[in-house]
Every structure is written in C-alpha cells, then in structure tokens.
Structure 1
Amino acid sequence: MSRTMKQCLHLGNTNVLGVISLIITLGSLNVKVAECRAIGLGNSEYSAINCRKHSATLTDFGGVGDGKTSNTKIFATAIANLTQHASDGGATLIVPSGKWLTGPFNLTSHFTLFLQKDAVILASQDEKEWPSVALLPSYGKGRDAPDGRFSSLIFGYNLTDVVITGQNGTLDGQGSYWWVKFKKKEFTLTRPYMIEIMFSDQIQISNITLINSPSWFVHPIYSSNIIVSGLTILAPIDSPNTDGVNPDSCTNTRIEDCYIVSGDDCISPKSGWDNYGVKFGKPTKNIIIRRITCISPDSAMVALGSEMSGGIEDIRVEDLTAIDTQSAVRIKTAVGRGAYVKNIYVRNLNLNTMKYVFWMTGSYGSHPDPEFDPKALPVISGINYKDIVAKNVTYAARLEGIPNDPFTGICISNVTMELSKEQHKLQWNCTDISGVSNNVTPTPCEELQQKVFMN
C-alpha cells in the first residue's frame, strides 16, 4: 500500500475520531442550550446557551426607532446599565420593532442582544460615529489600508457568554456607502465588519438576518466555543469582500443552517497573514460547517485561507449546497504564508452551476507588505472529498501546488460531475500535487492515482 493510500485511510479514521471529539466538546454548549423567555417578549421563546435573569428594552433608555435618530449613545448606555447584572444571572437587551440607527457599540459578558421580529439595526453612514480600533496582531496591517481599521458595528473584546439572536430581526450595514468609497480608494482605514468578537469564549450568533455589511459579516477571532446558526446573510454578488462567516484563529466552532448570498466567500476559516500570523501562532481548528446554502458567483462556498499563517486543521464540511458559485471548498495559500492546512474532511455536497468543483492554489499572492519570508512554505496535506454531485460544471478541477512544496494526501471519491455546454477540453489541471481517487467522473488527472479504498 502506498504512502498516499495510507494517508487517505488514516485521514478517514482520524477524522471520525476528531469529529466525535469535536461534538463532545461542543456538546458542553449543547447541554446548556435552553428555551429562554425575557420580559417584554410575551410568550415567545428562543434557544440560547444561557438564559438571563434580567432584561430591558432599548426604549427604556430613550431609544428612537425612526431610522433617522442616532441611537449610538443609547445602545452604549443600555449595555453599560445591564452590565451590572453580569454576576446575577446576566441580562438581555431587547431591540423592538422599528429602525434603530446607530454607530458601533460594544457588548458585555453574560449578555444577550435580542432582535424582535421587524426590528432593524441600521448602521450609521456618518464616519464620525465610527471609532478606530487597533490593528489585529495576526495581520499586522489593515486589509484595506495600512493605517488602521474602523470598529465593527457590533464589537466584543475579552468576553464570556455572549448571545446575539432574535426572531429573525435584521442588521443592515448600509454597505453601499462603504463599497463606493472603497472602490475609489478613499479610505485610510480598513472598512468595518458587521460583527466582530475577539479573545472571547462561549459565543452564539443565531436566528437573525444580516444584510449589506461594509466588509466581512461575522468575524469571531482569537475565540473559542462558538455557535453560528440559522443566519440569513445577504449582499449583492458584486459587493467587495462581503464574506459571510470567517472564524479566524478560533477553536471549537459550529456553523450550521445558514443561507448566504455574498460578493465573496460564503464561509472562510482563517488564521493570520504571513509573518504576522506565523509569529502570533494561533491556529483555527475543530470546526464543523454543515447544512449551508451558498450563492457566490465570483468566490467559494468555503475557502480555507488565504490568511492561514497560524494554521488550519481538523475541519469537517458536510451537507452543503452551492448554487451559481465559483468553487466549492477551496484552499488558498502562497509562498510566505507558512503554517499548514491539514486534516480536512468534506462530504455530501450538492453543487449546481460551478466554475470549479475542486480548486486549490499555491499562488494566492496577496501580502500585507514585502517583508514576508519567501522560505515560509505552507504544508497542505490530508484533504479528503467524498460523496459529491455537481451539475453544470465548467471545469472539474484546478489543483495547483507550489513548486518544491507539493500539496499531498489529496483523496477524492464518489464524485459525479455533469459538464456544462461551456465545458473545457482540459477538465483536470493538476500541478505539484499528489493523491488518489476512486469512482470519480470525469476521470481525474494522473497525479490523483485511481485506487480502490475504503470511505
């Protein structure tokens, strides 16, 4: 038996054990999930990792939901007031029906932000309401501009037990203002994200609608024990960098039952950028991504990287649907990234109208600055795809490793791809990669040796 074959079989076994371990770990959160009720919600119940003893409504603090009056100070006052209950069962802030214009505000621990049905939090388009925050240590520079970055609309730092949920209320980032200025290169700071939670533990973001973020929608970073569930995320398909959910240097994360239409990757685990990410050294690991529907004609359903310099490992992707999307589960890396992407297990994909089903690239050369180490080569290994049905496919695969740094242990099995009328003659473009395949149509490139192996 070849080394690659052993690696594929080993991957299958270790991933089962890894997923069981991950489910048990996240099970500690599931045990806590309860049906909660807060004063002001009537008989309505909602699921949360923790219920709260105290609650208040935004109007209790003078909030005005006319879509014109700024509530930035109101949110800050309300949350500061409710912080006093953190050690006494925590508190819920209820955002009632209405349009609540606001700049960024910071959350607190043992706290729930609850958006009632027909509640809309509108992001202010007045830049004076948006403070700057420190650069991310694992990135070193702002992704849009080197001078810094705007605070996210909803921001949290060093928190424990935070819930953002509701009756499918809406966060509206009013992103067109930011997209236009970004395209004109008028910013000296990186655009805001919609939700960013940093250095925190026990996070739940669920059952709300998020539309038109200035940039990334949901960005947990340097955090652990995270549930992202039941989100509807919508942005124009030509909007810049509107990634849906980006767990970044995070551990034990579950992303499930979401519907995402995006101008960029629907879901993108990350872990820092080039030498900054290598130095910070915090990987993203133990991630389950399941039951997601993605529409993104110019990007991926799931992208691993390209900022992966702290490492990405032990990722399970299953039961996903992509419609009119550029690629399925894509790996993006480059010389200078260092670290690794390993032990990735993908199964049960339903794909319709795809440019690429399989896409890996080792030349995704976006760098924060010229100071990256050209000797920092990423290790890509143990990548397992199985049980995939794809229709209307332009290219089966584009698999491009790095010269003298090949991607290894790529295992593809039980895949049927129906080609489009625009199909290209060369369906499999493979360089600097190795692996095995079994029961794949159309026939893979010779670098993926056809073998019979257990799945």
Structure 2
Amino acid sequence: MIQPSIIARSARTAALCLPGPGALYWLCEKAAWRLSSPDDDRDLQQGVADTAVTLLHGLHPARRYVFEAEGFLPVVFQTAPCAGLVDAADFGLVPDIAPDDLDGAVANVKALADAIATVPSGGTLYLGRGLWTAFPITLKGQMTLHLAEGATLRAPSGRTGWPILASRDHCGRMLGSWEGLPAACFAAPVHAASAENLVIEGRGALDGSGDRGDWWSWPKETRDSARRPRGLHLISCRDVTLLGFTIRNAPSWTIHPQGCERLTAAGLTIIAPPDSPNTDGFNPESCRDVTITGVRFSVGDDCIAVKAGKRGPNGEDDHLMETRNVRVSHCLMERGHGGLVIGSEMSGGVHDVCVEDCEMIGTDRGLRLKTRRGRGGSITNIAMCRVRLDGVETALSANAHYHCDADGHDPWVQSREPAAVSSATPVIDGVAIEDVEIRGLAHAAGVFLGLPEAPIRNISIRRLQIVSHDPDAIATPPIMADRVRPMRHEAIVAERAEIDCDDPALLSAASISLSFE
C-alpha cells in the first residue's frame, strides 16, 4: 500500500496527499478515512476523501494524530504549537456592513490592525463566522490568520481612501509592481511584506470585491497614479503556508507571491468570472521553492503564471530576480487562458518548473511558454507529466514572438530573420513532456515557435496521446504572434525548435508562419 504524505501542517489544519494510482485532482476511487490520536481512544474525525489532496480542519495545537484511509498506510503527524488565540471579534469588528460603507470598512480595518498587533509571536488571529468588510489589512510574520467556516473577509466596493503601495521601499527593493516592472499599485485586500512563518488557513473566504467596484473597468490604466490591487499580495516573505480557504473576485491577479521563498499552497479554491480582466489565479514571481498542490482554479486569465520580472524599456534590470523550483501537482484548472503558463515577464530567468498529476478542462492552452525579443533571461528545465487536457484548444505552446506591450507588433519583435544576440535575447532550453492525454483537441497539440537567432532547444515528448478532437473547432491561430496561420486539429508544429518525439507521426512538416510576402 501507498504511504500518504504530509504536505503542510499548522496548529489547527493539516494537508495530506493520497497519491493513489491514476489520481489527478480527483481520486479514482473515494477513500473512507478516520482520524485518531495516540493519546485518545476515540475516533476524533472521519470522512470520505474524493480528492488527492485532503484537508483536515479543527485540529488542536501540539497534538499527535493518526490518519488512516482505505487503501493507504497510516500516517502519524503532530500539529504545530500555538502561542495564543486572539479573537478578532473582541476588538469591535462590525459584521454585515454594506459594501459601499467606507466609514465602516475603515473602522473594521482599524479593529483588525489592533487585533493583529495583539497576536503573540507564534499565535493565531481567529476570524469567526460572518461577513466582515474592511479596507486592506497588513499581516505580520510569526502568525496565523484563521478563517473559520462561514467567515468572509471582504474588501469594500469603493476605493476612496484605499492605501497605495509604493513602487519601491526605502532600500530600493520592488514593492508595488505591474507586469513585471516596479509601479505603484493599490494595496491588496490582504498583504504582507518581509513576513516570515506566516500561515493563512481555514474554510472561510477572502473576497476582493472586484465584481462590486470599478476595478475591472480600467484593466490597463491607472487611477490616482496607481495600478489595480491583487487579491493576496505577499512581498519578500519566507516560509508561508496557505491552506484550505477560498479566494475570489480579486481586482487583478488573485494570489501574487513576489520575491518569496519556501511557499506552500494546498487545497485552495481560486475563483473569478471568466470575463474578468487579468484575474490570474496564482502568479509566483521571482520566487524560490514554491509548492502548489490540490488547488482548484476557475478564473478569467491564466490559472498559474510563473514570472520573473520584465526588463525595462531602457534595459533596467535592478529589480529582476530568478524564479526557481516551482512544483504544481494534483490541481484542477477549469477555464482560464492557460493552465500552467511561464512568462511573458521572465527576464530574471525561470528554472525548474514541474506540473504533474493535474487536470485542465476548457483552458485556452495547457502548458504555455511565452517571451519575445527584449526580454532577455532564460526558461530552462520545464516538465509536464501525467496531465489530462480536456477541451483545451492548444495543448502545448512555446512562443518567442509573443506580441505583448506597445511595441509587440513592431518588425524588430516579429521579424523571422535572425537578429543580433545580446543580453536582451531570451532563451528557452529544456522542455520535457511525458504521459499527457489530450481530449477534444481544437487547434493543435503543440506549437513551438523559436527565434532564428535563439531556437528553442531540447524539447522531449514521450507518450503524448490525442484521444479525440473537437468536431466544432474553428481554425484559429494557436499562438499570439504575427502572421501565424490558423490551425484546426493539428498535431505538433514547430519552427526554429528542436523536438525529440517518440512518435514521429505526431510531428507535422507544415510551417507555423504565413508568408511574409
């Protein structure tokens, strides 16, 4: 039998993985489970797991537990200690105020700030059942924010008096950002900077009120010289754990870890309407050692977009840092522009990213790499293993002519003639695809378009299976580059890309580009 693994544990919550054979987001067969303690003869909890990642709530601090599930070996673990529990309700929070009651939202954020200041190092702030509207709150390190079942922490609908995060701190480090560059932005409804050992957990929800305010009506603009806020913004934090909660309706990117190290997200639900602009689900930028597991996405843009900053228009690069070691597993991506996307802001370099045992349903693309001349940096060692793509229009793509930014359609970006190689030349080297199943394919199984001066290197494809095609598919350019021909039901098409495929029949001899005549 298989041993379950402990993904993360706090004082009151634990996330476990039941890696049954063939399990993606869902288990192939449900598994009854029981939770007991070596210090207590009774069964403390019992239930039935239907997902590979199972969350246990309502645990006690510093206590030993035994988890047993049908078909799996038992696993023993101990919860973390808690230095003290602070109830936010004791600080004068007012529930159920109207979303446009800005005075009430200001009073509530003051109450929450007072409560956070009272939480001892290693303690917990408890937010109980109810609808709590407050202006953006700042979390500190060495604490847990516990969102009880039925608790919703909601941002107000108006932004008058909303705090603005500067583009840089007093040391010159990037704080606020927009599309990979330092920029002032409205503070996220929940945010933290330079926090260590921070936990956000529970069965409750964070609601950014993007559907109530005017945020989604000016997606690429500024107001009061600031960009839109994220839903949850973590800046230069270390050892962060996100467990079990729902986050929805972010004004822009939903969860944005920026310059963080050692971050684990397990069992989250991330939601935004399909037509909401730039509401990516989870965007680790310039981060190291990130684990995203058992997360369910349904958003208006990319489900996961891995980034590493963008070189400025005049070559500015002092804000750039690499992203390395991102592991995505047992996730469900429903809708969205892409399942797992890298770039296009990748100038600091993105390395060692793996997505495995996931399911993507109805996303525009599955695995998507995007960059362009001027970015510089490199994307290396990317892997997709044991992933099912259902109703995904283009399963795999890597595009080095991505037409982003104001100059994205300029000839120097889109030319298929070789350009001089410089520090602004992006590199893609090392993409491994194994055991991927495609159902309802619309446009192409794979499209790889490299630069003539820097072809895409070392693409390996093993055991890729196209099970079915979408009979209603309309021929459409499968990647966002100029002069790309429409495609329908094609296999793997490549230009200026080196592909080693164990099934040569999948490799098309057709070109990607239209004639430049």
8 Å CA contact retained: 1:207, 1:229: yes
| Stretch of structure 1 that moved more, 69-78 or 152-161 | 69-78
8 Å CA contact retained: 1:266, 1:302: yes
2:445 to 387, 396, 403: 396
Distance 1:369 1:121 in 2: 40
Give SS of 1:366's match: coil
Q: Which residue of 1 aligns with 2:250?
A: 213
Structure 1 residue 295: deviation in Å?
1.5
Q: Which residue of 2 aligns with 1:104?
A: 136
When residues 140 and 163 of structure 1 are mapped into structure 2, their CA distance, relative to the original with a 3 A threshold, is closer
Q: Which residue of 2 aligns with 1:119?
A: 151
8 Å CA contact retained: 2:88, 2:115: no
When residues 144 and 226 of structure 1 are mapped into structure 2, their CA distance, relative to the original with a 3 A threshold, is closer
Q: Which residue of 2 aligns with 1:60?
A: 90
When residues 426 and 393 of structure 1 are mapped into structure 2, their CA distance, relative to the original with a 3 A threshold, is closer
Deviations 1:254-311 (A, max 9, x none): 00001100110101111101247743341110111001101225x1001011111111
Distance 1:203 1:146 in 2: 23
Q: Which residue of 1 aligns with 2:428?
A: 380
Q: Superposition pairs for residues 20-59 of structure 1, below 5 Å?
A: 33-36=9-12, 44-45=58-59, 50-59=80-89
8 Å CA contact retained: 2:11, 2:82: no
When residues 78 and 426 of structure 1 are mapped into structure 2, their CA distance, relative to the original with a 3 A threshold, is closer
Distance 1:380 1:363 in 2: 12
**AA in 1 matched with 2:326:** I
8 Å CA contact retained: 2:176, 2:185: no
Distance 2:249 2:7 in 1: 34
Q: Superposition pairs for residues 121-200 of structure 1, below 5 Å?
A: 121-135=153-167, 142-143=178-179, 148-166=184-202, 168-176=203-211, 177-182=213-218, 185=221, 187=223, 188-200=225-237
Q: Which residue of 1 aligns with 2:123?
A: 91
Structure 1 residue 180: deviation in Å?
4.0
Deviations 1:326-357 (A, max 9, x none): 11111011111111110112101111101101
Q: Which residue of 2 aligns with 1:258?
A: 295
Give SS of 1:325's match: coil
**AA in 1 matched with 2:141:** S
Give SS of 1:59's match: helix
8 Å CA contact retained: 1:169, 1:208: yes
8 Å CA contact retained: 1:271, 1:277: no
2:390 to 349, 352, 366: 352
When residues 34 and 115 of structure 1 are mapped into structure 2, their CA distance, relative to the original with a 3 A threshold, is closer
Distance 1:425 1:240 in 2: 29
Q: Which residue of 2 aligns with 1:267?
A: 304
1:233 to 257, 264, 270: 270
Structure 1 residue 151: deviation in Å?
0.6
Q: Which residue of 1 aligns with 2:471?
A: 421
Q: Which residue of 2 aligns with 1:20?
A: none
1:292 to 316, 323, 331: 331
Structure 1 residue 378: deviation in Å?
1.0
Structure 1 residue 439: deviation in Å?
3.5
Distance 2:380 2:126 in 1: 42
8 Å CA contact retained: 1:67, 1:98: no
When residues 49 and 272 of structure 1 are mapped into structure 2, their CA distance, relative to the original with a 3 A threshold, is farther
Q: Which runs of 5 or more structure 2 residues have no equivalent in the other structure? A: 14-56, 62-77, 414-419, 474-487, 511-517
Distance 1:439 1:46 in 2: 53
Distance 1:279 1:327 in 2: 32
When residues 129 and 144 of structure 1 are mapped into structure 2, their CA distance, relative to the original with a 3 A threshold, is farther
Structure 1 residue 86: deviation in Å?
4.1
When residues 56 and 138 of structure 1 are mapped into structure 2, their CA distance, relative to the original with a 3 A threshold, is closer
Q: Which residue of 2 aligns with 1:432?
A: 496
**AA in 2 matched with 1:148:** A
| Stretch of structure 1 that moved more, 373-382 or 138-147 | 138-147
Q: Which runs of 5 or more structure 1 residues have no equivalent in the other structure? A: 1-26, 38-42, 448-455
8 Å CA contact retained: 2:343, 2:369: yes
Distance 1:195 1:231 in 2: 13
By relative contact order (CA 8 Å, sep 6+), the higher-ranking structure is 1
Deviations 1:367-419 (A, max 9, x none): 4889x999401110111010011100012122111121111101111011122
Distance 2:316 2:9 in 1: 34
Give SS of 1:214's match: coil
8 Å CA contact retained: 1:332, 1:360: yes
Structure 1 residue 32: deviation in Å?
7.6
8 Å CA contact retained: 2:216, 2:277: no
| Stretch of structure 1 that moved more, 354-363 or 72-81 | 72-81
Pair 1:445 & 2:508 matched? yes
Indicate the RMSD between aligned Cα atoms, in angstroms.
Answer: 3.0
Aligned length: 409
Structure 1 residue 78: deviation in Å?
3.9
8 Å CA contact retained: 1:161, 1:201: yes
Give SS of 1:419's match: coil
8 Å CA contact retained: 1:139, 1:272: no
Percent identity, aligned pairs only? 26
**AA in 1 matched with 2:506:** T
Distance 2:316 2:295 in 1: 29
**AA in 2 matched with 1:117:** E
Distance 2:378 2:356 in 1: 21
8 Å CA contact retained: 1:260, 1:293: yes
1:315 to 353, 357, 360: 353
